[in-house]
């Protein structure tokens, strides 16, 4: 495995790991994600990120079931992968495949020229979120630091 390989701990920053975020809708969750990314890197346009996330959702919901969503999109001019992890204060409707509301969100923003490596990352995430005990451990977190540590501890 090369040093440049994408793993959850290389794309997720503590600043973009947020616990018990208040959100009233899927749209608001996606807006919040875009705003947080913009706050961390002002060269990235939050409106563009939001529009790209919405456009991707229109192709089909990224709600993968069991209260989990992995919204993702490509972004012009991005030179790295950005991950955002949120637990929501209350579940929101996300048009998930099992029609269950979502309270665990991992967003992935990838460069326009995304490679198979990015798809690999999506499958890594889906695999992790397939473990109910792992998801429950994330949901139990009371603060962002613990959430970040739990999310990155298991990756590698």
Q: What is the pLDDT of residues 53-99, one digit of tens each?
A: 999 999 999 999 999 999 999 999 999 999 999 999 999 999 999 99
Does any domain span residue 2?
no
Residue 109 is assigned to a structural domain of this protein: yes
One of 72, 75, 104, 107 is an active-site residue; which one?
Answer: 72
Question: Does any domain span residue 18?
Answer: yes
CATH of residue 146's domain is 3.40.930.10
What is the tens place of the pLDDT at every residue in 68-78? 999 999 999 99
* Residue 47 within any structural domain of the chain: yes
pLDDT (tens digit, 9 = 90+) per residue, 85-134?
999 999 999 999 999 999 999 999 999 987 787 888 888 898 999 999 99
In a domain, 3, yes or no: no
Considering its fold, how many domains does the chain have in total? 1
Q: Secondary structure of the chain in the HEC alphabet?
A: CCCCCCCHHHHEEEEEEEEEECCCCHHHHHHHHHHHHHHHCCCCCHHHHHHHHHHHHHHCCCEEECCEECCEEEECCCCCCEEEEEEEEEEECCCCCCCCCEEEEEEEEEECCCCHHHHHHHHHHHHHHCCHHHHHHHHCCCCHHHHHHHHHHCCC
Residue 25 lies in a domain: yes
Domain carrying residue 96: 8-152
pLDDT bin (cut points 50, 70, 90) of residue 2 is: very low
Indicate if 38 belongs to the active site.
no
């Amino acid at each position: 495995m090369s040093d440049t390989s994408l793993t959850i701990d290389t794309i997720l920053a503590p600043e973009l790991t947020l616990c018990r975020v208040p959100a009233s809708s899927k749209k608001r969750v996606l807006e919040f994600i875009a705003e947080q990314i913009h706050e961390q890197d002002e060269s990235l346009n939050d409106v563009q990120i939001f529009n790209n996330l919405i456009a991707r959702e229109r192709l089909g919901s990224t709600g993968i079931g069991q209260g989990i969503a992995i919204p993702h999109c490509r972004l012009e001019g991005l030179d790295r992968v950005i991950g955002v992890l949120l637990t929501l204060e209350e579940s929101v409707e996300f048009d998930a495949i099992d029609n269950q509301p979502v309270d665990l969100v991992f967003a992935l923003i990838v460069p326009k020229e995304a490679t198979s490596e990015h798809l690999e990352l999506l499958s890594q995430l889906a695999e992790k979120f397939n473990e109910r005990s792992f998801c429950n451990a994330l949901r139990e977190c009371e603060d962002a630091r613990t959430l970040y540590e739990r999310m990155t501890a298991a990756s590698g």
